[in-house]
C-alpha cells in the first residue's frame, strides 16, 4: 500500500470547477485519481475538466445543483456508470449572503444552509452505498474559520459551517466501522471568486486579513492540494472526525 497513492480511484468534487474545489481536484488528480467535477456552470466545469486531464487522469463534468436531492442521486448514478466506482467525496460547494441577522430573510437563510450544509449531508448519504459495497470511502467536508468564529454578517454562513463540523463528527462515528473516514478542513482567507467579491464590498478587508494571518498572506487554492491527497489516501486511514485548519495560523493567533 502506497501512502499517498490514488491511482484508479474516483473522486466527486462538488464545486470542483473553481476556487478551493478546483485546488482539491488538482491535488487528487496529481495523485492519480479520476475526477467528477460537480457544479452548475457548464463553461467553468468544461475548463476545469480540460485542466485536470492535463494530469493524465480521466475527468468529467456533471451539471448538478447540490441543493436538489434528485439531481444528487442522478449525479452519483452517472459517476458509477462512467467510472464503475466511487471512492472519494469532497463536499466543497458553498455560498454566502453577507447580511446582518436582522436583514436576512428566511429564504436567504435556507439558501445558504441548503447549499453549504444540507448538500453535504445529501451527497454523503447518496455516496455511502458505494463506499459500503467497496469496503472503504473518504469524505472531505469544507468548513471555514466561521466554523469556529462568528461575525455580524454571517448568521447563516456561520451556522452552516459550524454544522459542517458536527455533521463530520456524526458521519465519522456512524461509518467508521465501514472503513469510511470523514474529515472536515477549515480554510482561512483564501483568494477565490468568493473572497474577491468580499474584498470589493468590504473596505479594509484585504489589509486586515494580511495583518491577522501569521503567514502574512492570503491562502492560494494550491494550498489545498496536499491536504486533499492526505485526507483521501491511505495515509489518513485512522484519521476521522477531525476539523483541520488550513489557514496560515489564523485560528491560533492570540
Q: Which residues are catalytic?
A: 157
59-78: contacts with ligand NDP (CB under 6 A): 64-67
Site string for ligand NDP, 73-112 (x = CB under 6 A): -------------------xxxx-----------------
DSSP string across the chain: --TT--TT-EEEEETTTSHHHHHHHHHHHHTT-EEEEEES-HHHHHHHHHHHHTTTS-EEEEE--TT-HHHHHHHHHHHHHHHS---EEEE---------GGG--HHHHHHHHIIIIIHHHHHHHHHHHHHHHHT-EEEEEE--GGGT---TT-HHHHHHHHHHHHHHHHHHHHHGGGTEEEEEEEE-SB-SHHHHHHHHHSTTHHHHHHHH-TT-S-B-GGGGHHHHHHHHSGGGTT--S-EEEESTTGGG--
In the complex with ligand NDP, the residue whose CB is nearer, 47 or 134, is 47
Least gap, CB of 105 to ligand NDP (angstroms) = 18
Closest approach of Cβ 71 to ligand NDP, in Å? 8
Shortest CB 156 distance to ligand NDP, Å? 11
Asked if residue 34 binds ligand NDP (CB under 6 A), the reply is no
If one asks whether residue 17 binds ligand NDP (CB under 6 A), the answer comes out as: yes
Number of residues that bind ligand NDP (CB under 6 A): 30
**Interacting residue ranges for ligand NDP, rule: CB under 6 A:** 14-15, 17-21, 39-41, 44, 64-67, 92-95, 115-116, 142, 144, 187, 189-190, 192-195
Amino acid at each position: 500500500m502506497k501512502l499517498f497513492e490514488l491511482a484508479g480511484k474516483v473522486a466527486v468534487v462538488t464545486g470542483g470547477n473553481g476556487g478551493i474545489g478546483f485546488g482539491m481536484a488538482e491535488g487528487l488528480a496529481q495523485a492519480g485519481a479520476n475526477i467528477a467535477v460537480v457544479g452548475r456552470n457548464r463553461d467553468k466545469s468544461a475548463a476545469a475538466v480540460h485542466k485536470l486531464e492535463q494530469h493524465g487522469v480521466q475527468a468529467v463534468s456533471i451539471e448538478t445543483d447540490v441543493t436538489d436531492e434528485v439531481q444528487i442521486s442522478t449525479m452519483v448514478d452517472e459517476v458509477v456508470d462512467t467510472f464503475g466506482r466511487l471512492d472519494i467525496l469532497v463536499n466543497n460547494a458553498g455560498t454566502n449572503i453577507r447580511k446582518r441577522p436582522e436583514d436576512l430573510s428566511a429564504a436567504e437563510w435556507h439558501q445558504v444552509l441548503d447549499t453549504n450544509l444540507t448538500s453535504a449531508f445529501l451527497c454523503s448519504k447518496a455516496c455511502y452505498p458505494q463506499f459500503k459495497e467497496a469496503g472503504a470511502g473518504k469524505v472531505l467536508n469544507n468548513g471555514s474559520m466561521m466554523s469556529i468564529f462568528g461575525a455580524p454578517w454571517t448568521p447563516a454562513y456561520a451556522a452552516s459551517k459550524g454544522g459542517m463540523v458536527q455533521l463530520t463528527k456524526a458521519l465519522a462515528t456512524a461509518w467508521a466501522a465501514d472503513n469510511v473516514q470523514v474529515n472536515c478542513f477549515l480554510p482561512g482567507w483564501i483568494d477565490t471568486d468568493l473572497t474577491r467579491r468580499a474584498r470589493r464590498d468590504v473596505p479594509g478587508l484585504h489589509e486586515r486579513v494580511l495583518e491577522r494571518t501569521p503567514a502574512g498572506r492570503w491562502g492560494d487554492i494550491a494550498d489545498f492540494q496536499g491536504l486533499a491527497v492526505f485526507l483521501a489516501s491511505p495515509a489518513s486511514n485512522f484519521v476521522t472526525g477531525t476539523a483541520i485548519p488550513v489557514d496560515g495560523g489564523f485560528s491560533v493567533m492570540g
